[in-house]
Structure 1
Amino acid sequence: MTEQEGVIKFQLDFRQQAALKAADVTAINSWRTIMLQLGMLGQTPLRYDNYGFGNISQRYGQSNQFIISGSQTGGITQMRAADYALVTQCQPEQNRIVAVGETKPSSEAMTHGQLYLLSADINFVIHAHCPQIWQQAAMLGLAQTDADVPYGTVAMTEEVARLFGASDVLQQGVFTMAGHEDGVVAFGISAEAAASRLVGVYAAALGRSATPD
């Protein structure tokens, strides 16, 4: 049975108020549009029981705060600042997210936050849904989280930390979530770096799919 998308599993301390301006989300919005066009995130009756899927974030300033797409905003074609949340604290050890905005942060905010905590060189994170990459993760040489670990949980943050210690995922910049259908995470020092890594792996997956056995 496929796990339902978009369920917030962490303790959320959320203050609903305007927090971001249009200028704050210009870059992230542009890259989100590209991911939407690639089918890496969005919402469609043909996938995941019509729940929104995929999310995107960027570090905010010089701290571990970050801007992230709001929960269940996958069906919005043109996002506004109000459709993003600002996460001001991520505390995996307490299963707690503190955020402010006009919409609640994505259910994957805990995983994004863990990545920003793990490396100061990570400034942009894309959680995509790509069956071509996910199904060929092993053949593509990608790090994978354990299949028994569900998304959006403390266990997932611990699993991501384990990958950072046990593999070269920081250098590779892409890993898949074996227990989260089609879940692929790409990250980098910039939006361009994260997206380039994701698209490069996607191209490799499509090339493998097109190669006869």
Structure 2
Amino acid sequence: MKDEGVIKYSQVWKRNVLPSLKEADALLAIRDALFRRHWIGTDADGVGFGNVSVRLPDNAFLITASQTGHIPHLSTVQLSMVTAVDINENTLWCTGLMPASSEAMSHAAIYAVKPDVHCVIHVHDAELWNSLIHVAPTTDAGIPYGTPDMAYALQELILDMEDNELIVMGGHPDGIISAGSNTDDAWQTLQNWSAAGKDRL
């Protein structure tokens, strides 16, 4: 059964208007760029894919909300603030007018072990995924997205990386994660690997 876009973790969502956050501007700008690049969007069944987040103070982060892939231009209404995560218990706490993305646990896992990472991007690109799987660092094909196992697998891989922080999600067809010190850095890593992937075709 297809489970794309399904939130697999327990989510404690407090429906609230988000406070004004300076980090939102950069997040919204890169999200819309990812949409234009077709790295965020909807599949043939109308299910949204792809998401992006930025780190906030106090171990929080701001992420695009669940099922917003069909919207060309997001506003802060379509963002969610993750305030706490318990990977072992597969539970996430968030606030905003919409719930956090189904991939928020993966973002949280990376932020938890890489204090220098301030942006995480998750895109879908079938061509790039097929060209980079097992070329770039790749999670095991038996690990599904949105689970504690995926969170721990991402942590293990990214802790071994110093540069070009891109991970192919082996058990999540078309899924790719890029991480960087800011939105520009994460975007450039994705662009660089995209160019390298095309050279392999």
Shorter-chain-normalised TM-score: which range? over 0.9
What amino acid sits opposite 2:183 in the alignment?
A: A
Q: 1:175 aligns with which of 167, 171, 183?
A: 167
Q: Is contact 2:82–2:92 with CA below 8 Å preserved after alignment?
A: yes
Aligned to 2:122: 127
Structural mapping, 1:28-177, within 5 Å: 28-43=27-42, 47-61=43-57, 63-138=58-133, 141-165=135-159, 167-168=160-161, 170-177=162-169
Q: 2:185 aligns with which of 184, 187, 193?
A: 193
Distance 1:81 1:117 in 2: 24
Distance 1:180 1:124, change over 3 A: same
Q: 1:202 aligns with which of 183, 194, 200?
A: 194
Q: Is contact 1:24–1:81 with CA below 8 Å preserved after alignment?
A: no
TM-score (norm 2): 0.94
Q: Is contact 1:5–1:48 with CA below 8 Å preserved after alignment?
A: no
What amino acid sits opposite 1:9 in the alignment?
A: K
Cα distance, 1:21 vs structure 2: 3.0
Q: After the TM superposition, which of the residue ranges 182-191 and 13-22 deviates more from structure 2?
A: 13-22
TM-score (norm 1): 0.89
Distance 2:133 2:46 in 1: 28
Cα distance, 1:93 vs structure 2: 1.4
Distance 1:37 1:108 in 2: 20
Aligned to 1:18: 17
- Provide the identity percentage: 30
Distance 1:59 1:22, change over 3 A: closer
Runs ≥4 residues deviating over 4 A: none
Aligned residues: 201
Cα distance, 1:174 vs structure 2: 0.1
Gaps of 5+ in 2: none
What amino acid sits opposite 1:207 in the alignment?
A: D
Deviations 1:113-137 (A, max 9, x none): 0100011001000001011221012
